[in-house]
A and B are shown apart, each in its own frame.
Chain A
C-alpha cells in the first residue's frame, strides 16, 4: 500500500508530557498537511509544507506545537507539555500541489488521549 501512513496510530500520555507523531506521505507528493479532528467535528487545518518549507500555520497551532519536514519527505508533529484539550485525532494528508490545488489524500490518523 503506497498511501499516506501515520505512526503511532494511538497514543496515550499524561498531561505535561511531550509527544511526537510521524507522517509519511505518498512518495511523489510534495505537499504535506496536518489537521486536527475532535469528536463530532470536521478536521481543522493546522499547517502545511511544500517540500521542506512550512508555508502556512493556523492560529490553532500554539507555541507548544511544532511541525517539521526536514528533507521534504516525512514530517513530524510534536506537542510539548500536553494538555487534556490536545486530545484529538491528528490527521496527515499529502498532495501533488499545483494550481488549482490537487486533491489531498489522508492517512489513517493518530488518536491522542491526554490523561
Chain B
C-alpha cells in the first residue's frame, strides 16, 4: 500500500481560482517536502515542513503540516497557468532517514 496518499489525483481549475492539494501519510511524518514537476522534467523544490502546525508561504503557495493527522496541505491562491504541473509530496517516515518516500502526485491544469 502507498505510504503517502495524495488527493485529488488531478485537478482542473480556472485561472484565478484557489485550490488545495492534500497529502496523507500512513506513518509518522518527520519531515514533509513539496515539489513541483513539469512533465518529463526533474523536481523543483517548493517547501519543507518539519514541525507540527508549521505553515510556510512562498508567493501564492502556502503549505501546512498537521502532525497529529499525519497530513499536509498545499494551497494555491489566485492560480495562474504557470502553476500548472504535477505536485508531489515527499516525506521522511523513518525519522532522520535520507530516504524520501513520495506520493503519486497531483496533476494540476490551470485554464486561462
Tell me the A residues contacting B by CB distance below 8 Å. 4, 6, 31, 33, 40-45, 48, 55-56, 58, 89, 91, 93, 95, 97, 99-101, 103-109, 111
Segment touching A, from B39-47, B58-66, B75-83? B39-47
Q: Which residues of A contact B45 (CB under 8 A)?
A: 103-106
Asked if B102 contacts A42 (CB within 8 A), the reply is yes
A48 touching B103 in the complex, CB below 8 Å, given contacts A43-B43, A109-B42: no
Asked if A91 contacts B33 (CB within 8 A), the reply is no
Q: How big is the B interface, by class?
A: 20 to 34
Q: Which residues of B contact A104 (CB under 8 A)?
A: 33, 45, 100
Q: Which residues of A contact B43 (CB under 8 A)?
A: 43, 91, 93, 106
Q: Which residues of A contact B88 (CB under 8 A)?
A: 42-43
8 Å CB contact of B31 from A43, A58, A100: A100
Q: What separation, in Å, do the CA atoms of A101 and B41 have in the docked complex?
A: 24
Decide if B1 is an interface residue (CB 8 Å cutoff): no
Q: Which residues of B contact A105 (CB under 8 A)?
A: 45
8 Å CB contact of A103 from B48, B96, B97: B48
A-B contacts counted at CB < 8 A amount to 67
Within 23-59 of B, Cβ neighbours of A (below 8 Å) are at: 30-31, 33, 35, 40-45, 48, 50
9 contacting pairs across A/B (C-beta < 8 A) = A40-B105, A45-B99, A48-B99, A58-B99, A97-B98, A100-B31, A100-B92, A106-B45, A109-B40
Q: What separation, in Å, do the CA atoms of A93 and B100 have in the docked complex?
A: 11
Query: Which residue in chain A gives the minimum CB-CB distance to B33?
Result: A103
Q: Which residues of B contact A89 (CB under 8 A)?
A: 40
Known: A89-B40, A101-B97. 16 other contacts (CB 8 A): A4-B42, A6-B42, A43-B88, A45-B99, A55-B98, A56-B98, A91-B42, A99-B96, A100-B50, A100-B92, A100-B96, A101-B92, A103-B45, A108-B41, A108-B42, A109-B41
